[in-house]
Structure 1
Amino acid sequence: MRAWTAPDVPTPLVTAPPVRLHDTATGGPVELVPQADAARLYVCGITPYDATHMGHAATYVAFDLLNRAWRSAGHAVRFVQNVTDVDDPLLERATKVGIDWVALAERETELFRTDMEALRVLPPDAYVGAVESIPLVIALIERLQEAGAVYRVDDDLYFSVAADADFGSESGYSRELMLEIFPERGGDPERPGKKDPLDALLWRAERPGEPSWDSPFGPGRPGWHVECAAIALEHLGTTFDVQGGGSDLVFPHHEMCAGHVQVAEGAPFARAYAHAGMVAYDGEKMSKSKGNLVFVSALRASEVDPMAIRATLLSHHYRSDWEWTDADLFANVDRIALWRRALALGAGAPAAPVVDGVLAALAADLDAPRALALVDQWAHATVGGPAIADTSDPDAAVTIHRVLDSALGLAL
């Protein structure tokens, strides 16, 4: 599958510190010095049945910061992302609106690409759809069968969580909490015939009116978790550096992905698991089911500067839960305008401390709000009052432009 066009990103002027990131599995920070030729990152992608809302955008901008922080620290990055281009929500939406499910997926995936380009998110090196990955899924299920971790319920195949000795170590959730969350996030704990209510669907046998593909298990289609596990394993291998996504993927999705690979390969799925917070609107988590969505494309169509949208996302720490408001957006419109006024002056307050501070902030668990505050201070110092000759930096604008673009993804 085709990704989106990469923006031109300048090379950082100085090397950033090693990246430290909060790991969900351990509950604390880990230093992410890559153990291979490149830092390896997998970020779970969209199910393309609706446009990109701010919850999506916040997650992808967050992991774009990680990509950039690694690059600023001098590392190459291998970034992989999936598209769940066949799944129940997509099929249900296509039926509801009377459109072919393939056409719906293609349309919304293309809209997502244009949103990511507008927000200057670096594209994945491998952008992989579920449909094109079905041979990989089949191969992984066969490995799980060899490990004795698969059983049949009617014509469907399930993964036995009991086969994974480390099940629960990624999320740290109690069994009681897992059982509460599982049905809310695509699980079927009450299905008769399951060995454990938490066992996850691997292969859904063909149903009337649904798409299906041939397999050694009979015609059908992949489960959600095994799709990402198979794609990550193929394109990144085991024990890659970071599995990323929204905090609503901690369980069951990332727990199950880890379990599938750990049982099949006998090696950890990832070194660290990182999760972005949820974005609310009108007092509730932004979600398609509630309909309380603010779309990137709608703001762009209203001529809102995409850099102001990105700055709004960056003004909240990626792990925090927060609420989108017009006031917040407009404050960042003003912030970007101030920065542009300061940059237009050419000379300004010394830039070197800002560069060092921005890179250090991002290396410390992607602290974008701290980085933005440093640029705010520089802009106010540059715009406010007459410059003092012996403290003015004649190259300040060029230097600040460069770090804004390379580290924060803000092209001004």
Structure 2
Amino acid sequence: MTTIKLHNTKTRKREVFTPIDPENVRMYVCGPTVYDRAHLGNARPVIVFDVLYRLLRHVYGPDHVTYVRNFTDVDDKINARAAESGRSIGEITAETTQWFLDDMAAVGALEPDHMPRATAYIPQMVTMIEGLIASGHAYAAEGHVLFAVESYKEYGALSGRSIDDMIAGARVEVAPYKRNPMDFVLWKPSDADTPGWEGPVVDGKSIGRGRPGWHIECSAMAYELLGDHFDIHGGGNDLMFPHHENEIAQSCCAHPGSGFANVWLHNEMLQVEGKKMSKSLGNFFTVRDLLDQGVPGEVIRFVMLSTHYRKPMDWTEKKAREASRTLKKWRELTVNVTASVSVPQIVLDTLAEDLNTAGVLALMHEFANNGALLELKASADLLGILTIELGGWEGRGGVLLDSWTERLTIARDSALQSKDFSEVDRLKSILTNAGVAVQMSKEGIVLAAGPEVDLEKLEALK
């Protein structure tokens, strides 16, 4: 059996992965808060853990892996969006949850085995909170229930911080009802305009109508679906503190001796053209923005896989163009490959070495150059690329777009000499109006058929 090695954030070293039960390998990954479209950074953990899910299924068998990724559908951002729009919270979260699923399917992610929504597990959260109060790890104050961080001696072990350091360096809500500034909310009161449920019972009496804090959601859902002790917990490294730190504290205190998750995996963040993605810099965009601009989901996935998950990922237009060319070439090479072979062991061993996706892509380039097409296709299947589900984008327009690329290239070359770009602008306008994304740079011109491309219009005008 292939030996999988993963970098465990908890121990700060790469370890051989040994599941608690090889018949049921269990993984929990923190999912989105569904108040809007998923931005490009949200896609990175989805793709990273999708690859791990595929590897685990390959090694242990599809029926022996359980993958859980939640939806946070009760949150102050969602409440604010409802207040702004006048729409109901349920209507908003139903829409945004489907948006997320559609966009992640477009980048080739398999759906997890369970996708629990926080609002469906409120009773389980209340029960866990009541247990924490009874054991002295939580306390009620002014309609809130808070976790007492000093009651858990290992608090801070995951992120490597002491409580004093956290207080000094973190922006925490210093509320008068907190015993310690780092104590975090398990339950908070709701007003008449905010979603609410009957709260935990304290001293024989309900604390009142309210809603759960963010951290307790994942602990309750993980416990219900995976048990008190499971194999892998993952997410972006921005969740390490405080979210994952708080999950560990409340889960281990709620279920003493359980250990919660054995392996913690965290992916690094995403940049755009070398800078942090932000609306103020004008480089913030969603997955749907890229898809609507004609960037295929398979290209997004390929670019993500080109960088190791523990390194910052820099999205650039150049990388997207190179990915598009590579995928087009590989699809042309494997279009008639119908026979199958097992995934080459060198590919499995490379991927199993802490998800070295970049290393696998390098091997695939070698397979393509050496004519090892069966091995190329088998490796692609493992990574979730060159699939039928993601296919079709490179052929939409095919020869027709190639002819337009040549025509636009000639026009631009001429314009560079004459300094008259009117013909270039005219051709770009035709292509854009027909639903084609036009990318022009020093390296050349790339045309990508968008979802609404009008090929008949282009054919008539060529």
Q: TM-score, normalised by structure 2?
A: 0.77
> 1:399 offset after TM fit, Å?
4.0
Q: Could you tell me how far apart the structure 2 residues matched to 1:269 and 1:131 are?
A: 22
Question: Which stretch of structure 1 is more off in the superposition, 142-151 or 170-179?
Answer: 170-179
Query: What's the CA shift for 1:194?
Result: 0.8
- Corresponding position: 1:224 with 2:228: no
2:224 is aligned with what amino acid? E
Residues 27-176 of structure 1 aligned to structure 2 (within 5 Å): 27-36=12-21, 37-75=23-61, 76-175=64-163
| In 1: Cα distance, 2:9 partner to 2:148 partner | 23
CA contact (8 A) 1:214 1:220 kept: yes
Residue in 2 that maps onto 1:195: 179
* Aligned positions of 1:363-374 closer than 5 A: 363-374=352-363
Moved more, 275-284 or 252-261: 275-284
How far, CA to CA, are the matches of 2:151 and 2:97 in structure 1? 35
Q: Is the 8 A contact 1:241 1:271 kept in 2?
A: yes
5+ residue gaps, structure 1: 1-14, 383-395
1:252 is aligned to 2:242:
yes
CA drift at 1:346: 4.8
Match of 1:213? Answer: 197
Alpha-carbon contact 1:344-1:397 (below 8 Å) kept: no
Code of the residue aligned with 1:298 in structure 2: it is D
- In structure 2, the CA distance between the partners of 1:106 and 1:403, relative to structure 1 (3 Å rule), is same
- The CA deviation at 1:285 is 3.1
Report SS of the residue matched to 1:338: helix
Task: Note the alpha carbon deviations across 1:279-327, whole angstroms, 9 max, x for none.
Answer: 0225543367987422222222233221111101101111111221111
Q: Is the 8 A contact 1:65 1:362 kept in 2?
A: no
Larger Rg: 2
CA RMSD, Structure 1 to Structure 2 (Å): 2.4
Describe the shift of the 1:154–1:127 C-alpha distance in structure 2 as closer, same or farther (beyond 3 A).
same
Partners in 1 of 2:98 and 2:308 — Cα distance? 28
Match of 1:26 in 2: 11
Displacement, 1:195?
A: 1.1
For residues 324-348 of structure 1, give each alpha carbon's deviation from its aligned partner in whole angstroms, at most 9, with x where no partner exists. 111111111111112123324759x
Q: 1 CA distance for matches of 2:279 and 2:124? A: 29
Assess, with a 3 A threshold, how the Cα gap between structure 1 residues 220 and 290 changes in structure 2: closer, same or farther: farther
Using the size of structure 1 for normalisation, the TM-score is 0.86
Give me the whole-angstrom Cα distance separating, in 2, the residues matched to 1:163 and 1:193. 17
Q: Are 1:120 and 1:410, in contact at CA under 8 Å, matched by a contact in 2? A: no
Write the deviation string for residues 177-214 of structure 1: whole angstroms up to 9, x where unpaired: 5336643xxx42x1112111111100011234211111
Change in CA separation of 1:217 and 1:45 when aligned onto 2, cut-off 3 Å: same
On the 8 A contact 2:233/2:263 being kept in 1, the answer is yes
Name 2:232's counterpart in structure 1: 242
Report the AA paired with residue 378 of structure 1.
F
SS in 2 for 1:240: strand
Is the contact made by 1:57 and 1:296 (CA closer than 8 Å) also made in structure 2? yes
Flag the 1:194–1:107 CA change in 2: closer, same or farther, 3 A.
Answer: same
The Cα of 1:234 is off from its aligned counterpart by: 0.8
Q: Deviation at 1:151?
A: 1.2
Describe how 1:382-401 pairs up with structure 2 within 5 A: 382=371, 396-401=372-377
Whether 2:212 is the aligned partner of 1:204: answer no
Distance 1:230 1:125, change over 3 A: same
Identical columns (%):
35
Distance 1:231 1:368 in 2: 30
CA distance in 2, matches of 1:289, 1:221: 32
| Cα separation, 1, equivalents of 2:365 and 2:164 | 46
Amino acid in structure 1 at the alignment position of 2:4: V
- C-alpha deviation, 1:118, in angstroms: 1.6
Amino acid at match of 1:56: N
In structure 2, list runs of 5 or more residues that go unmatched: 200-205, 392-462
- Whether 1:313 and 2:265 are equivalent positions in the alignment is no
Q: In the aligned structure 2, how far is the partner of 1:255 from the partner of 1:85?
A: 21
For residue 263 of structure 1, report the CA deviation from its aligned partner: 0.4
